[in-house]
Structure 1
Amino acid sequence: MAYLVSARKWRPQKFEDVVGQEHVRVTLQNALREGKVAHAYLFAGPRGVGKTTVARLLAKALNCEHGPTPVPCNSCPQCTAIAQGSSMDVLEIDGASNRGIDEVRELRESAQLAPAGGRYKVYIIDEVHMLTTPAFNALLKTLEEPPAHVVFILATTEPHQVPPTIRSRCQTFNFRRLSVGEITGRLSFISEEEGVEAEEEALVLIARKAEGSMRDAQSLWDQAVAFSEGKVSLRSVQEMLGLVEGDLFFRLGEAILKGDVRSGLEVVEEAFDRGVSLGAFADGLTEHFRNLLAVKVGAPPDLPEEELARLREQAEAGSEEDLARLLVMSSDVASELPRSPAPRLRLEVGVVRMAKSLSSVKVEEVLARLGRLEQGLKEGTSVVRRPPKDLEELKGRWEEVADLVARRSPRLGAFLREGRPRRLEDGVLELAFGSTFHRDAVNRQRRVVEEVLKEVFGTKLRVRVLKEEVEGEQYEDERMLKKVLELFDGEVVQG
């Protein structure tokens, strides 16, 4: 007998075998039991979650010799032919390759013919959203008032691309992504039936990589069995998928949360020496911080209890704000890595910044408070939150504003430091940037800057950003220039 991939070999042959779509299964079985079968259905959902499988089961239930029945016998000629894909009364049509009006006209004509041997003619149109607009229009009338012996089942991964006139003529069922536990349970069953020894951690990893798709998970399982030569282990699956061992992320996470730059760089070097893809490593680190944050806020991911326990222990080392900041920074590194001419250097710089970010923010907060206290003492009062008298006073506290913005968004704080306050008039602060990129980046998040300005000065200031051409070097650091002039007793010569 020819080899069959597990997705075909273990395709559910009865409704009870369908995993994770309880709401669809119960509704269809009740309709079959009560004789209230609709003439058109729309099955919508991600790939590999059971849309076509349920469509075939419904066709089998309608044409079974003992039906219509919610429990097909799977032994009569009709059930057998449908299971083998040879039934003349169940036509599966690929909407992507039969998308024109001519194909739909042929379908309309064939729908008028009586079933060859069954009770119903069932048309399963997969990827129906790929049909052209004229094809949809040609299908409308037949879909609204089909012959009594015809049932249409439309399947799509993009329901929003199906015209409303089509959707309104169908009963719609939304198929959901499967959980890691549901996929793991099914893979465990298949492994047992096939006599394959598989570690639970390996199956969980396959389920996570499948991202809710049972078909993808079964394809990965087939690949893992072939790669592992009969024994599916966690290490073999990691090697097959080019993934990084989770222990590396826990070690790197611990180093970053402790501010231990040296240990963090050693982990990166170890991963590099192992030949790990740096892109996959950065993605894995982002997922690790995401899991830490999810555990911290009380919404743990679907992971083995042993791994969750380690995550909870490590999450205690940082606050929600710390973990959220690290998640954003690691996500930035992962997105920039593919475009970097020196990926390893970019990753190492990112690790250093993450390790330093927690302690540096705390120091900045202290400095900002000292600055406000000093200002209050100079004014002879403890109340510092008052509107700036003029632009010069605002410039004197601009570093404080940039520090507070950086606490909310390190990237925005860095961009803000590339600009300079140019004018303050009628509650409007103009910021000048020499770079269009920095100007646009700050402009998109100017509300954050406005909130910080209100926090510092106790009044609402609107921010207006603009690009300014500066003669000579752009973004001269005036304070640094002043120090240089004082040190060398120099002067600025205009040439």
Structure 2
Amino acid sequence: MTYQALYRQWRPQSFAELVGQAHVSQTLQNALVQGRLAHAYLFCGPRGTGKTSVAKILAKAVNCEHGPAPEPCNQCPACLGIQAGRVMDVQEIDAASNRGIDEIRDLRDKVRYAPVEVRCKVYIIDEVHMLTAEAFNALLKTLEEPPRQVLFVLATTEPHKLPATIISRCQRLDFHLIELTEIVDRLRKVVTEAGREAEEQSLYRIAEEADGGLRDALSLLEQVLAYTPDSIAEEDVLAVLGAVSKDVFYELTAAVLNADLAQALLLLQEVAAAGKDFHHFTLQAISYYRDLMVAAACQDDAAVLGVAAEWGQRLLQQANLLGLAKIGRILTILHELLTEIRWSPKPRLLWELAVFRIFGYDGQTPQRNTPAAETAAAAAANLPAVRQEKVRRHETAAAVVRESPVVKKGIPKITQLWPRILQQLKKEDVKTYALLLSGELGSFDGKVLELRFASPFHYDMMKDKANTQALKKVLARALGAEVQIRCVLQKQDVPAAAVKNKTEIDQDDLVQSAVELFQGKVIEEAGK
């Protein structure tokens, strides 16, 4: 195959071509000019931001026949060989598949030999956090004092997994997520070079989906170019991504502002009928309302925080109508929805429930009487006195439910979640799980969970800090909120005839002898 993927065709070959990492380019170029190049570098950052590309550019700059120079010439045999991957002195190692101690020992043995083709040996270890602890220990001494002609470049997306001893022996450079406008500029250039045209909004849509990674953006653009032979429209991008247009969320927000619940549910019906993935739909919704929040807070400066310029005024108008408090509440509901919808067999139903909460139908007192409620009230007026009393009792019960803090805050019923909580607790702390089997659930107001125990032994054990902390940890994950535990000892009714009078017990010679022998005291004695 002669065709190369776009991200390989457009891989930067010099520091000048690097996108969005000016601080990295400047640091390395100054080190090359001043002769202060470190023996080991650690490149950290998200995927697709240029870590391995910079490592190869650095290898060319160090070994260029016209260098070391701040920019490789990309014309000499050394630069062309490294670029093509033919130079044996520059090796790229995938730590995910070469993670054991044997591979690192082999590398340590090869390091001692002088380079054959170029000036300096360069070892690029990608995804270095995948190495085993033994492999890190084997690499440690070589990394601390490598031969003079060797340069190590370690790249990782998860630097927190590296031992501190490795990090302290490297010069760390952090790669940033690439800004939206910089990704759009590069995509526009790629489309132009390919002899194609694209709508500006379609490029922004690809850049937003890439989430700061240029490689992901180029891969998505390649899919879209293969999908449509003509000019790229936003509809083409949405079709490839399986996403929906921002107009859907604009209309959903308009329905919220107009208190039009029916319109919101009809929008969900259109999304479901189009076969869209509701998990991805939720991510898009969170992104949209995040942009609304930024527009409400920053007003005309929202573009600096990644809000597309074409949508700036429309978002600003809706944001001012909603207000930050309402936007924050919607984002909270959507974030809770995101944690539930991935595993739900009925994601559409979860979305409909979330819409009910957004509209305020979450157990709160209705703001106005519905026709159905008025019809029921009229019918109740004609009922006999006994049946009217039943109606009043039902209305009282309904009012209590509406005022319940559990319903008001939308916290799921603890009784429904309790079996799942016990199963999770069994995996993490079997002792606490066994204690809970001896008790029963009491009240729960959303903040404090009451546990009732009949046995003083189980009651005292459950009050132990280790057991309550284990339960609170599982509850916090299940309910999404911190919950306090209150243990209650239930009183057991004992027949009066079965209890001896304390005075009679004191007069019992056998009891008195036992008290003197064991230096105890009489509290109470229950009959057999």
- 1:56 partner SS: helix
Residue of structure 2 equivalent to 1:235: 235
Q: Out of 353, 356, 360, which is 1:356 matched to?
A: 360
Asked if 1:203 corresponds to 2:203, the answer is yes
Note closer, same or farther for the CA distance 1:100–1:282 as it changes in structure 2 (3 Å cut): closer
The answer as to whether partners of 2:47 and 2:213 remain within 8 angstroms in 1 is: yes
Q: Aligned pair in 2 of structure 1 residues 28, 240: CA closer, same or farther (>3 Å)?
A: same
In structure 2, the partner of 1:25 is: 25
Partner residue in 1 for 2:350: 346
**CA deviation digits over 1:425-481, x for unaligned, max 9?**
xxxx976479x99x946998568xxxxxxxxxxxxxxx7545899xxxxxxxxxxxx
Structure 2 CA distance for partners of 1:176 and 1:467, relative to 1, 3 Å: farther
Q: How does 1:202-351 map to 2 (within 5 A)?
A: 202-298=202-298, 300=302, 301-351=305-355
Deviation at 1:82, TM superposition (A): 0.8
SS at the partner of 1:288? Answer: helix
Corresponding residue of 1:35: 35
Q: What is the deviation of 1:125?
A: 0.9
Q: Indicate how the Cα distance of structure 1 residues 196 and 464 shifts in structure 2: closer, same or farther if over 3 A, else same.
A: same
In 2: Cα distance, 1:248 partner to 1:468 partner: 54
Aligned to 1:172: 172
Please state how far the C-alpha of 1:69 moved relative to its aligned partner: 0.2
Q: Partners of 1:231 and 1:467 in 2: how far apart?
A: 70
**Structure 1 residue 332: deviation in Å?**
2.7
> Does structure 1 conserve the Cα–Cα contact (< 8 Å) formed by 2:191 and 2:197?
yes
User: Is this contact kept in 1: 2:40–2:153, CA < 8 A?
Assistant: yes
Q: When the two structures are superposed, what TM-score results if normalisation uses the length of structure 1?
A: 0.75
* Residue type of the alignment partner of 1:314: Q
CA contact (8 A) 1:433 1:467 kept: yes
Give, in angstroms, the shift of residue 288 of structure 1.
2.0
Q: Does 1:54 align with 2:65?
A: no
Deviation at 1:359, TM superposition (A): 12
Instruction: Please give the secondary structure, in 1, of the residue aligned with 2:69.
Output: coil
Query: 1-side partners of 2:353 and 2:139: how far apart?
Result: 58
Summarize deviations over 1:220-249 as a string: whole Å, max 9, x none.
111111011243221100000000111111
**How has the CA–CA distance of structure 1 residues 279 and 42 changed in structure 2, closer, same or farther, with 3 Å as cutoff?**
closer
Report the counterpart of residue 507 of structure 2 in structure 1. none
Query: 1:106 and 1:209, CA in 2 relative to 1: closer, same or farther beyond 3 A?
Result: same
Q: Which has the larger radius of gyration?
A: 2
Query: What is the RMSD of the two structures over their aligned residues, measured on CA atoms?
Result: 3.4
Q: CA deviation at 1:287?
A: 2.5
Structure-2 change in CA distance of 1:431 and 1:123 (3 Å): closer
Deviation at 1:23, TM superposition (A): 0.8
Work out whether residues 255 and 355 of structure 1, in 8 Å CA contact, stay in contact via their aligned partners in 2.
no
Q: How does 1:402-413 map to 2 (within 5 A)?
A: 410-412=409-411
Contact 1:101/1:132 (8 A) holds in 2: yes
Structure 2: 5+ residue stretches without partners:
369-398, 418-440, 453-470, 491-528
Structure 2 CA distance for partners of 1:50 and 1:273, relative to 1, 3 Å: same
Distance 2:243 2:160 in 1: 35
8 A contact 2:129–2:158 mirrored in 1: yes
- 1:81-92 superposed matches below 5 A: 81-92=81-92
1:156-209 per-position Cα deviation (integer Å, ceiling 9, x unaligned): 111111111111111111111111111111111111112121222111111111
CA contact (8 A) 1:257 1:358 kept: no
Asked if structure 2 preserves the Cα contact closer than 8 Å seen for 1:74 and 1:80, the reply is: yes
Q: Measure how far apart 1:350 and its partner are.
A: 2.4
Deviation of the 1:64 alpha carbon: 0.5
**Percent of aligned positions that are identical:** 42
* Closer/same/farther in 2, CA of residues 259 and 191 from structure 1, 3 Å limit: same
In 2, Cα distance between the equivalents of 1:190 and 1:443? Answer: 47
The residue that corresponds to 2:99 in the other structure is: 99
Contact 2:291 2:307 in 1 (8 A): no
**Within 2, Cα distance between the matches of 1:321 and 1:117?**
64
2:434 match: none
* Per-residue deviation, 1:104: 1.5
Assess, with a 3 A threshold, how the Cα gap between structure 1 residues 443 and 205 changes in structure 2: closer, same or farther: closer
Residue 103 of structure 1 deviates from its aligned partner by 1.5
- Return the offset for 1:3: 0.2
Instruction: Please state whether the residue corresponding to 1:226 is helix, strand or coil.
Output: helix
Corresponding position of 2:123: 123
Kept in 2: contact 1:259–1:359 (CA 8 A):
no
Verify the 8 A CA contact 2:15 2:54 in the aligned structure 1.
Answer: yes
Q: How many residues align?
A: 411
Residues in 1 aligned to 2:361 and 2:444: alpha-carbon distance in whole angstroms = 30
1:184-195 matched pairs, under 5 angstroms: 184-195=184-195
Maintained 8 Å contact 1:24/1:175: yes
Q: Residues of 2 paired with 1:96 and 1:414: CA distance?
A: 44
Letter in 1 for 2:313: A
Q: Is the Cα contact below 8 Å between 1:52 and 1:155 reproduced in 2?
A: yes
Q: 1:468 to 1:235 in 2, by over 3 A?
A: farther
Amino acid corresponding to residue 16 of structure 2 in structure 1: E
